[in-house]
Amino acid sequence: MSAVGSSNPEYVVARVRARRGSLYSDEEYRKLTRMSPSEIARFMEESTYEAEINALGSRHAGVDLIEYALNRNLAKQFEGILDWSEGGLYDLIARYLRKFDAWNVKTVIRGVYTGASQEEVEVDLIRAGEFDDRRIRRLLEADSIEAVVEVLEDTIYGAPLREAYAEYEETDVLVPLENAVDRVFYERLLGNLPGDEPTRQYEAFLKAEVDFRNADNALRLARSGAEIDPAEYFIEGGELFTRDTLARLARNLDELVEYIAESQYADELGPALRELEEADSLIAFEHATDAALLAYGDRLGTIHPVSVTPVISYILAKEREVENIRAIARGKEAGLPANEIEEELVIT
């Protein structure tokens, strides 16, 4: 419920375990890959997604219905976890779930920028972060980017957005604002973590996520050849890169690939790096980082069963379930064969 008071991991972990049991299994994914989008929606209606499918069924149809129901269910599940959590546990979970706040801020900014209607923006929001309904309502009612920045003035995004707004006014592109929001999220993710053993494990996981994000971005920059300073996109807190290393390596793709291949992540990312060299596509690499994080999360959940780690492990698994179902539905909509869709799924 709040960061005040003592942690209650026993209660939250017990509830999360119960929810973990209702996540889709490999067999269910295989069934889904052989269904049409409407059959997938019907299948979801008979599982934990029933309420969302029924609530949204009159307004949306097909794969849009599935995607919006998935997002709403994700928000409900994570909101529940934040509601049950107290004390230090709340803080540890909230700092991870703030990525949905960052997502919502970026979605609102993009909506205002392109002149999208309030309803159009609202369906794209995922209310799984810390922002309450009142703040989200105020964000949706903002009619200019300056008004969005004002609404967020008293949040962690306030000062960085105010700073980025000046640059936005000069250039009229959203990149500085979006980067400011993402950067705040990653900086807060690793700042001032308590020092107990489960939290250190959690910290190691977060550092791996930051490392993977830095590696993804460095590879994207190196491959694109764009005239961008790689240090601008560097996220502090990881172990794989320093700002200078990243700036140097992002200018040479071969050196960067070699550096990652020789790092502590060689086992997890090695095959994907070889594929990157052969196919010149970063998708397999991003796939490998996703799978590595998910496996890492699963391992963490079993090492310290009564701590924040099983909760984070569930959050990752739930996110992955949502992404897998969406991938299956969108893949079916696009007419991709079942085996190709199965290849895209990340299942551990």
Partner 1 sequence: MAKDVKPTRKNLMAIEDRIDLSERGHDTLEQKRDGLIMEFMDILDQAQDVRSDMADDYERAQRTIDMARAMEGDVAVRGAAAALKEHPEITTQSKNIMGVVVPQIESSKVKKSLDERGYGLLGSSARIDEAADAYEELLETIILAAEVETAMKKMLTEIETTKRRVNALEFTLLPQLYENQEYIEQKLEEQEREEIFRLKKIKAKKEDEEAAEAAEAAEAAEAADAAETADA
Could you give phi then psi for residue 30, rounded to 5 degrees? -65, -40
| Distances, alpha carbon 124 to alpha carbons 105, 201, 225, 250, in Å | 11, 33, 32, 33
Beta bridge partners of 2: 86
| Distances, alpha carbon 261 to alpha carbons 67, 251, 254, 271, in Å | 36, 17, 11, 9
Report the nearest approach of partner 1 to the CB of residue 148 (Å). Answer: 15
Please identify, among the stretches 29-37, 201-209, 223-231, 293-301, the one whose residues bind partner 1 according to the rule CB under 8 A. Answer: 223-231
Q: Which residue's CB is nearer to partner 1, number 89 or number 180?
A: 180
Report the nearest approach of partner 1 to the CB of residue 106 (Å). Answer: 6
Give yes or no for residue 249 binding partner 1 (CB under 8 A): no
> Which residue shows structure tokens 């009229």?
172
Give yes or no for residue 174 binding partner 1 (CB under 8 A): yes
Which position among 15, 30, 60, 106 is part of the footprint of partner 1 (CB under 8 A)?
Answer: 106
Tally Cβ neighbours within 10 Å of residue 82: 18
Please identify, among the stretches 43-51, 129-137, 201-209, 214-222, the one whose residues bind partner 1 according to the rule CB under 8 A. Answer: 214-222
Task: In whole angstroms, give the CA distance from residue 75 to residue 21.
Answer: 18
Give yes or no for residue 239 binding partner 1 (CB under 8 A): no
Q: Kindly compute the dihedral angle of the four CA atoms of residues 179, 180, 184, 187, in this order, to the nearest 10 degrees.
A: 60
Please identify, among the stretches 28-36, 50-58, 76-84, 113-121, the one whose residues bind partner 1 according to the rule CB under 8 A. Answer: 113-121
Which position among 4, 119, 225, 339 is part of the footprint of partner 1 (CB under 8 A)?
Answer: 225
Which position among 216, 236, 239, 298 is part of the footprint of partner 1 (CB under 8 A)?
Answer: 216
Which position among 19, 79, 113, 245 is part of the footprint of partner 1 (CB under 8 A)?
Answer: 113
Give yes or no for residue 172 binding partner 1 (CB under 8 A): yes
Give yes or no for residue 286 binding partner 1 (CB under 8 A): yes
Task: In whole angstroms, give the CA distance from residue 297 to residue 344.
Answer: 19
Q: Say if CB 63 and CB 329 are below 8 A apart.
A: yes
Which position among 53, 140, 181, 246 is part of the footprint of partner 1 (CB under 8 A)?
Answer: 181
Of 152, 142, 149, the closest CA to residue 167 belongs to 149
Please identify, among the stretches 10-18, 133-141, 298-306, 331-339, the one whose residues bind partner 1 according to the rule CB under 8 A. Answer: 331-339
223, amino acid identity: R
In the chain, where does DSSP find H-type helix? Answer: 9-20, 26-32, 37-45, 50-56, 62-84, 87-114, 118-124, 133-141, 145-151, 158-171, 175-190, 197-224, 243-249, 253-261, 266-279, 283-303, 308-333, 338-344
Report the nearest approach of partner 1 to the CB of residue 327 (Å). Answer: 4
Which residues, 6 or more positions from 109, have their beta carbon under 8 angstroms from its beta carbon?
145, 148, 174, 177, 178, 181
Please identify, among the stretches 6-14, 47-55, 151-159, 169-177, the one whose residues bind partner 1 according to the rule CB under 8 A. Answer: 169-177
Report the nearest approach of partner 1 to the CB of residue 197 (Å). Answer: 30
Residues of this chain that interact with partner 1 (CB under 8 A) are 63-64, 67, 71, 102-103, 106-107, 110-111, 113-114, 116, 124, 172-175, 177-179, 181-183, 186, 213, 216-217, 219-221, 224-228, 233, 235, 281-283, 285-286, 323, 326-331, 333-334, 336, 341, 344
